[in-house]
Amino acid sequence: MTSLLGFMRFLFGALAICALAVLVTPIHAEPQVPPVNPQASAISEQSLLQQAPRIEGRIDIPNETASVLMQPDGRVWRYFHEVLLHWTGAILILGTIALLAIAYFVVGRLRISAGRSGIKVLRFSSFERFSHWLTATCFVLLGLTGLNITFGKLLLLPLIGPEAFSTFSEGAKYVHNFVSFPFVLGLVLIITIWMKDNVLRKVDVVWLKEGGGFIPSKHPTAGRFNAGEKLVFWLALGAGAAVSVSGYLLLFPFYVTDIFGMQIAQGVHAVIAVLFIALIIGHIYIGTLGMEGAFEAMGTGSVDLNWAKEHHGLWLEEEIAKGRAKLPAPATPAE
C-alpha cells in the first residue's frame, strides 16, 4: 500500500511540475529583464542627514527658506538658548555684581587722597557727554529689553502673569528694535571722538603693573584715558560692532543668511551681549560707587584738580600747557 501511495504521489508531483513549467515558460523566449527595484536609488532621510545637517530640496512656493525640509539642529539651538545661555548669562552677570560687591566691601570707595581742591578742570565737552549718554541710555534700554527676552519668562512672567508679560515683552521688542539705531549712532560718535585718545601707550603698561589705581597707596599716572578706560573703550567697540552686526541680521531675518546663519547670529548676539553687560556693569561701578570724583567727569563735565592730578597726571599737564587748566597759585605765607 505504502509503495503504491508513494508512486501516486510521485506521479502527481511530476505532472504538477510539468504543468507549471508549461505555464511559466513564455511561448517566445525573450531576453531576461531584471526585476525593477524602485528603492534602488531612493534617497533616505538617514543618509541625507549623515551627509549634511540639513535636508534641502526644491519647493514650488515662492519662499526660499521653506526649501529646508528638516534641520534637526534646531534642538541643538534650543539647548544653547535654554540651557547654556541661561547659565552662562546668569553666572557672568551675577558673578560680576558679586565681584564688585566684594571689591566695594574690601577695597572700598577710592577717595581723592589729597582731598578736593575746589578747582575744576573741564574733562569732557558737552558733545562728548551727549555722545556718551546717548550710547549709555540706549545700552541700558537694549540690555534690559534683551535680558527680558532671555530671562523674562523665568523672572517676570510668574510675577505679572502671561497677558501683562506678553504686552510688556512686545513693547520691549519694539524698543529693542528701534533703539538699536541711536545706539549705533552713539557708538560711531564715541569711536570718532575718542579713538585717538585710546591708542595704547607705554604708560599704560606701567599703569597696569602698578595695579591700575586700585591700590590706595599708589597713583600710577595716565594720559587722558588710563589703560583700564582704554580696555573698556576697545572692548566696547568690539562688542558693540559684534552685537550691531548680529543684531541687524536678526532684525532683517533671512535677508543675508540662511537658518544656520540666523542661529549663529542669535548665539553671537546673546553671548557677546551678556559679556558686554558684565563689562558695562564694571564700568558703571567704577564711574559711580567705586571712585570719588569720577562721576562728575561725565555728569557735569568737570573734575576736581586733585582728582585729575592723581588719576590723569599726564593729561592734566597737557591741559595746563595748553592753558586750559590752571594750578592754584602757591599760597603766600601769612605774615
Partner 1 sequence: MARMKFLCDAERCIDCNACVTACKNENEVPWGINRRRVVTINDGKPGERSVSMACMHCTDPPCASVCPVSCFYVTVDHVVLHSKDLCIGCGYCFYACPFGAPQYPKVGNFGSRGKMDKCTYCAGGPETDGSPEEFAKYGANRLAAGKLPLCAEMCSTKSLLAGDGEIIAEIYKDRVRKRGYGTGAWGWTTAYHEGIKV
Q: Binding residue for partner 1 (CB under 8 A) from 144, 250, 284, 289?
A: 250
Position 335 contacts partner 1 (CB under 8 A) = no
Q: Binding residue for partner 1 (CB under 8 A) from 32, 37, 126, 217?
A: 37
Position 30 contacts partner 1 (CB under 8 A) = no
- Of the pair 18, 59, the CB lying nearest partner 1 is at 59
Position 135 contacts partner 1 (CB under 8 A) = no
User: How far is Cα 159 from Cα 145, in angstroms, rounded to an integer?
Assistant: 17
Q: What are phi and psi of 200, to 5 degrees?
A: -70, 140
Helix axis angle, 227-251 relative to 162-194, nearest 10°? 130
User: How far is Cα 283 from Cα 177, in angstroms, rounded to an integer?
Assistant: 24
- Of the pair 169, 226, the CB lying nearest partner 1 is at 169
Closest separation between CB of residue 31 and partner 1, Å?
23
Position 256 contacts partner 1 (CB under 8 A) = no
- In sequence order, what E strands does 152-269 have? none
Site string for partner 1, 53-72 (x = CB under 8 A): --xxxxxxx-x-xxxxxxxx
Q: Which stretch binds partner 1 (CB under 8 A): 3-11, 51-59, 115-123, 195-203?
A: 51-59
Residue with cell 529689553: 145
Position 48 contacts partner 1 (CB under 8 A) = yes
The C-alpha R_g of the chain, in whole angstroms, comes to 37
Position 51 contacts partner 1 (CB under 8 A) = no
Closest separation between CB of residue 97 and partner 1, Å?
23
DSSP letter at 84 equals I
Please, are residues 68 and 258 in contact by the beta-carbon 8 Å criterion? yes
Angstrom CA distances, 254 to 47, 197, 261, 263, 266, stand at: 27, 39, 8, 11, 12
Burial of 129 (0-12, 13-18, 19+ CB in 10 A): middle
Which cell goes with 20? 507549471
Q: Binding residue for partner 1 (CB under 8 A) from 73, 128, 210, 292?
A: 73
- For residue 156, the SS3 value is coil
Closest separation between CB of residue 34 and partner 1, Å?
15
- Of the pair 103, 157, the CB lying nearest partner 1 is at 157
DSSP secondary structure letters along 67-78: GEEE-TTHHHHH
User: How far is Cα 145 from Cα 40, in angstroms, rounded to an integer?
Assistant: 55
Residues 6+ apart with CB under 8 A from 43: none
Closest separation between CB of residue 18 and partner 1, Å?
31
Number of residues interacting with partner 1: please give it, by CB under 8 A: 58
Position 258 contacts partner 1 (CB under 8 A) = no
Position 36 contacts partner 1 (CB under 8 A) = no
Q: Binding residue for partner 1 (CB under 8 A) from 111, 120, 173, 201?
A: 173
Position 87 contacts partner 1 (CB under 8 A) = no
- Of the pair 191, 259, the CB lying nearest partner 1 is at 259
Nearest to 277 by CA among 131, 152, 95: 95
Burial of 213 (0-12, 13-18, 19+ CB in 10 A): buried
Nearest to 122 by CA among 307, 297, 312: 297
Position 44 contacts partner 1 (CB under 8 A) = yes
Position 50 contacts partner 1 (CB under 8 A) = no
- Of the pair 30, 60, the CB lying nearest partner 1 is at 60
Interface contacts to partner 1, rule CB under 8 A? 37-46, 48, 55-61, 63, 65-75, 77-78, 81-82, 148-150, 152-153, 157, 162-163, 165-166, 169-170, 173-174, 177-178, 250-253, 259, 262-263, 266
